[in-house]
Structure 1
Amino acid sequence: MPLLPALALNPTVAALSAGAALAYAVLAWAHQRLTAAQARSVMAVAWLLHALVLALSLFEQPPRFGFAPALSVTAWLVLTVYAVESRLFPQLRARWTLAMLGMLVVVLAALFPGTHYPTLRSAWLPLHWALGIASYGLIAAAVMHAWLMQRAEKAMRMGASLDTAIPLLTLERLTFRFVGAGFVLLSATLLAGWYFSEVFADHFVWNHKTVFSVLSWLTMGVLLLGRWRLGWRGRTAVRTLYLAAGLLMLGYVGSRFVLEVILHRA
């Protein structure tokens, strides 16, 4: 199945992608000069355009997916979490980083829109994709909170004023809540993958995606167990989380990147 070139994008999707990338770029460039209300308005416009791009791209017929759309959905979910939490904690500031992330993934998804899947082995297969994407989003949100936690901890050690209103312990609790939710959804994703393999392939397929995903699942399980039994926190917990997220990223995004970009295969 050949890779669809970016020029084959629906013109509406292409225009919306350009608008979303531009809005994110404006926010990244001018966030320090914008008032809080103006920054929220620009973020809302970028977020909405991004959502429209995803809706039109993911729900077209036949469905199309790949490593870049997976990154785009993941980033959009992280931005959604940030938008909600920034309302609860107005001094939470990661706009520049998230705006740059949003711009990059929108452009990447436009350049590498993925491949068409004209036939699906089961009408329930999109459920497997949805669970996987949701687990990506929750674990990415956990990584974002871990990064904010590290930044706040470093500022405290240096005696600098914190740029977040969220107390360190609250950030830590939020991080592990997202890890726990992501672990549950990743478990469901692996179970769904096992079911479809058993039903349609007669055996469980141990490919690169499966191996890295299982390793990520095991690493997150160790992290949650270490937190529960040994009280893991700080650098040990954060590094273990980064390892789990990295393995998960290699599982689907890494494998699809190699197939689509390097090997030019679907």
Structure 2
Amino acid sequence: MTTLFALLSIVLYLISMIVLMGRLFHKEGPNKTLALSLAAVGSIAHILYLADAIMGVPGQNMSMTNVLSLISWLITVSMLISITVLPNVMLLPGVLGFAALSVLAALVIPAAHIMHIELRPGLLIHITLSLFAYGTLVIAFLYALQMSYITHRLKQKEAALIHSSMPPLMLVEGILFKLLLVGTGLLVVAQLSGFIFLEDMFSKGYAHKTVLSLAATAIYIFLLVGQRVWGWRGKQVIGLTILGLVLLSLAYFGSRFVREILL
């Protein structure tokens, strides 16, 4: 049954992605009702699969592939819920494709990283905040890419080709900075919780994660200050957003990728 849920979520995500992409730049737009319904059912199958994959062992199997799939689920659900108020139809195909790949990776790569979070409430708080911070900053990264694409189209004098699926540049920019502010705030609180509840933040096995995540936090704070004080827009914002996410991804997944996947 677990495998069935995984396969069902992959199929539904991919069909929804195809429905959206087929008419994404058509003047009438894609069939959002059909696509979102398929994606919503896919997200339900996704979390049912993850519930068994993570909780179906003594403790919790927080392997890299399971955590990545959980993050992709959080991002997918957030995007589906926010679609009525945020311009994210253009971003959904990529989000759904990534979610499908993350489920497939969790299904075919049987990595294990058993934890007993229930015995350490502080660790649960730290992990939860970290997941939400990372998910929020990934969504901010997607909006940064969207902003870059719209800016490019406008500079190429292709504004007439921008349909309803492509929102106004200023709206996307405003959403991007709100997401960066929320994500950075969550990241700071997550790191504070780590220093409060965990005793090994600078131990041999975790020092690189701590240093990289602190560097990413510094970059995001620098970006927000630059936008507020110096009015940064465009390339500076996009470049620093990408750099911050790369450092954060290395902090969260770098060493675990080597241990769980390559070795």
The two structures have a TM-score, normalised by structure 2, of: 0.85
The two structures have a TM-score, normalised by structure 1, of: 0.84
Report what 2:222 is aligned to. Answer: 222
Could you tell me how far 1:70 is from its partner in structure 2? Answer: 2.2
Report what 1:98 is aligned to. Answer: 95
**Over aligned residues, Cα RMSD in angstroms?**
2.3
Judge which range, 168-177 or 157-166, deviates more: 157-166
Could you tell me how far 1:63 is from its partner in structure 2? Answer: 0.8
Identity percentage over the alignment?
A: 26
Matched, 1:51 2:47: yes
Equivalent residue for 1:130, pick from 115, 128, 131: 128
Matched, 1:236 2:233: no
How many equivalent residue pairs?
249
Q: 1:179 to 1:103 in 2, by over 3 A?
A: same
Where do 5+ consecutive residues of structure 1 fail to align? 1-11
Q: Which has the higher contact order (CA 8 A, sep 6+)?
A: 1
Could you tell me how far 1:235 is from its partner in structure 2? Answer: 0.9
How far apart, in 2, do the equivalents of 1:187 and 1:127 lie?
Answer: 13
- Cα deviation 1:54-109 (Å, max 9, x = unaligned): 33333444111022222212222222232133323578323332221111111112
How far apart, in 2, do the equivalents of 1:261 and 1:38 lie?
Answer: 36
How far apart, in 2, do the equivalents of 1:16 and 1:162 lie?
Answer: 38
Report what 2:172 is aligned to. Answer: 171
How far apart, in 1, do the equivalents of 2:243 and 2:136 lie?
Answer: 15
**Contact persistence 2:122–2:197 (CA under 8 A):** no
Equivalent residue for 2:74, pick from 72, 77, 85: 77
Q: Which amino acid aligns with 1:84?
A: I
Judge which range, 234-243 or 52-61, deviates more: 52-61
- Cα deviation 1:119-164 (Å, max 9, x = unaligned): 4562331221111111110001101111111121122222332243
How far apart, in 2, do the equivalents of 1:82 and 1:123 lie?
Answer: 29
Q: Which amino acid aligns with 1:137?
A: G
Matched, 1:39 2:35: yes
- Cα deviation 1:175-218 (Å, max 9, x = unaligned): 111111111111111112222333xx5x7435221121111111
How far apart, in 2, do the equivalents of 1:194 and 1:112 lie?
Answer: 32
Report what 2:27 is aligned to. Answer: none
